[in-house]
Amino acid sequence: MRFSNKILLMLSILFFCLGSYLLFPQERFRQSPPYPEPLQELKLPEIAEAVLSNGLKIAVIRYDNLPIVTLRLVILTGESASSPKLPGTATLTANMLKHGTLTLSAIDFEEKIESMGGNLTISTYPDYSMITLNLLEDYLDQGLYILSRMLLQPSFSKREVENAKRSLYYELIKKNSNSEQVAKKVLSLLLFKDHPYQKSVLNQDIIKNIKRENLLAFFQKYYRPNNAQLILTGNLNLNTATRKVSRYLNSWSKKEVKLPLVPASHPNSKLKICFVDMPQQKAAIIYMGNIISPLNSSNYFPLLVLNQVLGGTPGSRLFMNLRESKEYAYYAFSQIELFKICGLFYIRAKIRPEVVYPSVMEILSEINKISKEKMPSFEIEQAKSYLIGNFPLKIETHDLLSLRLAQIKAFQLGPEHWSKYYQNLMLIDADRVFDLAQKYPLLTPVVIIVGNGNIIIDHLRNFDEVGIYNNKGILQYSIRKESSNETR
Amino acid sequence: MNNWSKQLLISFLIFTLVPFSALGQEEEGFPFPTFLYTLKNGLKVVLSEDFSLPLVSVVVAYHVGSLYEKPGKAGLAYLLENLMFQGSRNVGRMQHISFIQRTGGTLNAATIEDRTIFYQTVPSNQLALVLWLESDRMKSLEISFSKVEQAKEALIQEIHHRQEIDPYLASSLFFDQLLYPDFSHNHPVFGQEEDIRNITVSDVKKFYTSYYIPNNAVLTIVGHINKRKTLQLVQKYFSSIPKGKEITPPVVVSPQLQKKIIKTFSNSLASLPAFYLGYQIAPPASPDYYPLRIIEYVLLRGQTSRLYKRLITRQRIAYDLKGNIEQRRELAALKIFVISSNDIMLTRSEKAVLSEINKLKSSLVSDDELIKAKNMFKMDYINQYATYLDRAIFLAENMLHHNNLDNLSTELKKYMAVGSSEIIGIMHRYFAQGQVLLKVKLK
């Protein structure tokens, strides 16, 4: 009797498998991933708050893991309050605070900070500015003293104003050589055209025109205790913190602050493709997005889930499609940026230049998909599980914790962004995400492509129309598909 | 009953019958609790409980890096690090990453001269998942021809990318060859293109079976954990991984630079001239290392350090200044790198650096300056254990260096005890005759 070849083959496979098992046995638990234990409760640190007689709001988070204190002062006015002719005034005013005081030269001031093991960072956003001082906890009093000198006796000397302007000028020049920063800059310029938020995109040529008087005027007007919030994190309680802050900052004088009204911003209503030429770049960068408004808490949480499914991490749809499946991209992510009156939702991707057209079309098709089809429940649950699991990592350090609180204060966000974060996320389902995807103008973004024109320009002719811009966001000319004509 | 079932039963009995304190060693006198335990296969386990957040960080650190590579195989250690994400017996290609990311966690890995570290932070209810993943790739990594070839290609692309973005890369590698005495210490962790092309599957398998073994590894777990339960999980996933052969560490060389080496490197990629200056110094095992680190801070750390103030703020003769103490197992060096806008400025910068070094040999550092340097050092030291992950890496590295955690409660105090007069002595000992100066000239 003869075995057929098929049976012989099956038997060999069986013997091979059995042989492998006998030779290399393994415990059964190794064959599949273990189930998780029940999720442990996140106990958020308490925020204790007080207001000084001059109107300065204080928030304290007790955090005693390390002998470090973080002092974060939020001035509730940002770049959108700069004069329309002098964008950059808010940034330079804030930056001046690290350029010494009436009694300490800039270098002596820096010495004092480093002597406390400290570091000082200053950052300005469209809606607020932040001064952050990290130091060893033994130096809390000295740290508060330094902060008080910055606010009560800033130098604003002519020489230091020039130094600050020069530093900012070179910083901006440097940013112009980074294709991702150029793409983000032009996207913001075009989306916030004629809106106060456009002022937060600084122009190095205008920085030169800002004078010491402009900075002093801005400082006098907005750097007031009743327009500020001080956040302290470290091993201290509200009573101690209030007593110490009051000792150093009670003489900071109050004055009525009239904040300029920031009007509503209007989303882009028609797909707009723009190109910025940066000849040295090997890869092409795509930044595309739109203004989303209003961004209240009922929209915010479904948006978090939508963002996570679409492009929050490497496991999300954009990355899996553009990088893993199509091999167009080095990366592709989506992101949410918060402002006081709206949000910005955008996608950023780094791609091979020759696939610029299919990449943009593929991203649009992914966006189209989320506005046409409800997301499957398992994807929604996976996204929620990621966001819930990841949240504690966002508040793990002094710095992160106080940064989150600063944003909550600056944007006047409610408890849903802090103590009710988990509950709000748990309530999100596919219907709410789908409603949101239809409500927001995601399919009519401004698309910015940055890269080497010599390689990309021919591929751009696949689009109906492309505006060619310089890196200051000014239209130079357009190219159209039909005739490939250039229109100046 | 087969072997592993027996082992499980024994573990179970041990953990239910033996008092917990008898299982391992509780370390005291440090800002956070630590518990040390060694499995029978030699795997060292360090646990540190912290209940502030529902997170856990897990680090697996192997005592191997580029120093263990043989001539002609530069890049093997880094290549293997990449292959550790390409699948093991029960985990598919890149699944390690997707499993961790799905939980909301983060992960990464790093290879340096004498260690390779894999790390992740996840919600604490997912601890078993991480141990399952890490034990699977320690026990049964799948190394195939196609995976090795893919990883080699990716590594070569990475080298090209590094060359493109860093015009000073070639000169810095040449500088390392002058500063360090032999192949083991002076070749780059990311390897050399021709060597990488020559790496075979059998090279990778041999490296894996020689070094990725429990008796050459440390497992640290920090976060919201229950010690007893965690040790049970560690036993379950790691105790059946067989112990490997004892490892012979690379030959310790004791090079003493006795003279000044001055060389020039012609660079066609850079647009500005630069120089490197290096000194061989005492390694961390030496008591001299404490004052040397404080000297590093006086000279180079922060915007008010001596060199930054002189070269960048006051005289504005340098465009960029970098420097630090670098450690390669039993060797350490202080390296300084300066870029200036032209040759005249570069010569002035070089003189200024040497003059600042000489000043430290002849005059005492003031009390205020010493306090500043120590406080900056202290802040950096404390920040090494700021997050659960930082702490897990910090503990793993300490275990790899010292094979115990005995020094943790006294380590910072030793740096804080450094005095001004001690600095002068150390400066004379390590910043005398032997130095390497490499000038980068534009082609």
How far away is chain B from the Cα of A67, in angstroms, using its nearest Cα? 8
How close A249 comes to chain B (CA, Å)?
A: 26
> Among A29, A68, A388, whose Cβ lies nearest the Cβ of B104?
A388
**CB-based contact B102 A391, cutoff 8 Å:** no
Per-residue pLDDT tens listing for chain B (443 residues): 444 444 444 444 444 444 454 556 666 567 788 999 999 999 999 999 999 999 999 999 999 999 999 999 999 999 999 999 999 999 999 899 999 999 999 999 999 999 999 999 999 999 999 999 999 999 999 999 999 999 999 999 999 989 988 999 999 999 999 999 889 899 999 999 999 999 999 999 999 999 999 999 999 999 999 999 999 999 999 999 999 999 988 777 766 777 899 999 998 788 899 999 999 999 888 999 999 999 999 999 999 999 999 999 999 999 999 999 999 888 899 999 999 999 999 999 999 999 999 999 999 999 999 999 999 999 999 999 999 999 999 999 999 988 888 888 899 999 999 999 999 999 999 998 789 999 999 88
Rounded CA gap, A103 and B435, in Å? 42
In single-letter form, the type of residue at position A156 comes to: F
In this structure, which topology does domain B260-442 adopt according to CATH?
Cytochrome Bc1 Complex; Chain A, domain 1 (3.30.830)
Tokens at residue A369, please?
């998909």
Q: Which of A30, A40, A396 sits opposite B387 (nearest CB)?
A: A396
Confirm if A71 and A143 have CB atoms less than 8 A apart.
yes
> Residue B402 has which token pair?
């010292």
Strand-pairing partners, residue A288, are A347, A447
The range of the structural domain enclosing residue A459 comes to 272-487
Q: How far is CA A360 from the centre of its chain?
A: 22
| CA distance to A170, B16, B37, B241, B317, per residue, from B42 (Å) | 55, 22, 10, 10, 54
- What are the residues whose beta carbons fall under 8 Å from the beta carbon of A108, sequence distance 6 or more? A100
**CA–CA min distance A112, chain B (Å):** 8
d(CA A241, CA A239): 5
Taking residues A333-355, report their average pLDDT: 96
Q: What is the pLDDT of residue B11?
A: 47
Listed by start position, the domains of chain B span 19-238, 260-442
- pLDDT tens digit sequence for A270-293: 999 999 999 988 899 999 999 998
B309 neighbourhood in chain A, CB within 8 Å = 107
**Residues of B whose CB is below 8 A from A115:** 368, 371-372, 375
Last residue of a domain, one of A249, A283, A306: A249
Closest-CA residue in chain A for B127? A36
Residues of B within 8 A of A134 (CB-CB) are: 379
pLDDT of residue A124: 97
From the list B98, B136, B368, which residue is nearest A30 (CB)?
Answer: B136
- Identify which of B129, B132, B304 has the shortest CB distance to residue A110: B304
Asked if residue A281 and residue A230 are part of one domain, the reply reads no
Q: Please give the average per-residue pLDDT across A310-325, as a whole number.
A: 94
Q: Is A131 helix (H, G, I), strand (E, B) or coil?
A: strand
Asked if B106 has any chain A CB less than 8 Å from its own CB, the reply is yes
Distance (Å, whole) CA A169 – CA A153: 25
Size of interface A-B (CB pairs under 8 A): 139
Q: Which residues of A touch B98 (CB under 8 A)?
A: 315
Residues A287 and A341 in one domain: yes
Domain co-membership, A221 together with A283:
no
Q: What is the pLDDT of residue B15?
A: 45
Suggest the residue from A21, A393, A395, A399 to mutate for an interface test with chain B (most B CBs closer than 10 A). A393
pLDDT on residue B251: 75
- B122 inside 8 A of chain A by CB: yes
* A215 and A73 within one domain: yes
What's residue A293's pLDDT? 82
Residue A409 is assigned to a structural domain of this protein? yes
Residues 6+ apart with CB under 8 A from B421: B364
The verdict on a CB contact (< 8 Å) between B125 and A40 is yes
Cβ–Cβ < 8 Å for B89, A30: yes
Third-level CATH fold of B19-238: Cytochrome Bc1 Complex; Chain A, domain 1 (3.30.830)
H or E segment to which residue B59 belongs: strand B55-62
In a domain, A445, yes or no: yes
Can you give the pLDDT at residue A99?
95
B125 to chain A, minimum CA–CA distance in Å? Answer: 5
* Alpha-carbon dihedral sign for residues A458, A459, A463, A469: negative
Minimum Cα–Cα distance from A112: chain B residue: B372
Task: State whether A36 and B101 contact (CB < 8 Å).
Answer: no
Cβ atoms within 10 Å of A126's Cβ, excluding its own: 24
Question: CB–CB of A33 and B101 under 8 A?
Answer: no
Residue of chain A whose alpha carbon sits nearest to that of B239: A27
B158 close to A (CB below 8 A)? no
The answer to whether B379 contacts A136, with C-beta atoms less than 8 Å apart, is yes
**Which residues face B122 on adjacent strands?**
B56
3-class DSSP assignment, residue A251: coil
Please answer yes or no on whether A34 and B129 come within 8 Å at the CB atom: yes
* Residue A200 shares a structural domain with residue A330: no
Q: Give the per-residue pLDDT at A415.
A: 78
- Across the range A178-184, mean pLDDT stands at 95
Tell me: pLDDT of A69 over 60: yes
Cβ separation of A38 and B54 shorter than 8 Å? Answer: no
φ and ψ at residue B141, rounded to 5 degrees: -65, 140
Distances (CA, A) of B331 to A468, B422, B428: 55, 21, 19
Does a structural domain hold residue A17? no
Give the mean model confidence (pLDDT) for residues A235-258.
Answer: 96
Q: If residue A171 lies in a helix (H) or strand (E), which one and from where to where?
A: helix A158-175
Band (pLDDT 50/70/90 cuts) for residue A483 is: low
In this structure, what token pair is assigned to residue A203? 């122009």
Please check whether residues A239 and A307 belong to one and the same domain. Answer: no
pLDDT of residue A219: 98
d(CA A283, CA A266): 32
Is the domain of A241 the same as that of A279? Answer: no
Query: What is the pLDDT, as a whole number, of residue B24?
Result: 66
Amino acid B204: pLDDT: 98
pLDDT at A8: 57
**Which chain A residue shows the shortest CA-CA distance from B380?**
A117
A421-to-A40, A414, B141 alpha-carbon distances in Å? 15, 10, 40
**Same-domain check for residues A119 and A87:** yes
How many CB atoms sit inside 10 A of residue A231's CB? 27
| Pick among A20, A29, A39 to test the B interface (most B CBs inside 10 A) | A29
Residues in B closer than 8 angstroms to A38, CB to CB, are: 125
Q: What pLDDT was estimated at residue B253? A: 72
Residue B102 and residue A315: Cβ atoms within 8 Å?
yes
**CATH number for the domain harbouring residue A458:** 3.30.830.10
Indicate the pTM of the whole model. Answer: 0.91
Per-chain mean pLDDT for chain A: 92
Residues of B in contact with A390 (CB under 8 A): 104-105
Q: Are strands A47-51 and B106-111 parallel, antiparallel or unpaired?
A: unpaired
Distance CA B371, CA B291 (A): 13
- Report yes or no on A455 lying in a domain: yes
Out of A30, A66, A393, the one facing B106 most closely (by C-beta) is A393
Would you call B125 and A65 a contact, using CB atoms and an 8 Å cutoff? Answer: no
Buried b (16+ CB within 10 A) or exposed e, A282-300: ebbbbbbbbbbbebeeebb
Decide if A382 and B123 are in contact by the 8 Å CB cutoff: no
| Whether residue A198 is found in the same domain as residue A57 | yes
- From the CB of residue A368, how many other CB atoms can be counted at a distance below 10 Å? 14
B163 contacts on A by Cβ (under 8 Å): none
Please indicate whether the domains covering B19-238 and B260-442 agree at the CATH topology level. Answer: yes
CB atoms within 10 A of CB A52: 18
Number of compact structural domains in chain A? 2
Answer yes or no: do A339 and A440 share one domain.
yes
Res B82: pLDDT: 97
Distance from CA of A138 to the nearest CA of B (A): 10
Residue A20 has pLDDT above 70, yes or no: no
DSSP code, position A67 = S
Domain-ending residue, one of A200, A216, A249: A249
What's the pLDDT score for residue B6?
47
- Contact yes or no for A133/A147 (Cβ under 8 A): yes
Upper half-sphere CA count for residue A353 (Cβ side, 13 Å): 20
Most B CBs within 10 A among A170, A390, A394, hence the mutation to make, goes to A390
The answer to whether residue B4 neighbours chain A at the CB level (below 8 Å) is yes
Q: Which residues of B touch A314 (CB under 8 A)?
A: 97, 101
Q: Quote the ipTM score.
A: 0.89
Whether A149 and A227 map to the same domain: the answer is yes
Cβ contact (<8 Å) for B379 and A117? yes
Round to whole Å and give the CA distance between B97 and A209: 50
A411 touches A126 (CB < 8 A): no
Whether the CB of B407 is below 8 Å from some CB of chain A: the reply is no
Task: For residues A129 and A85, state if they share a domain.
Answer: yes
Strand segments, DSSP code E, in A325-369 are: 329-338, 343-351
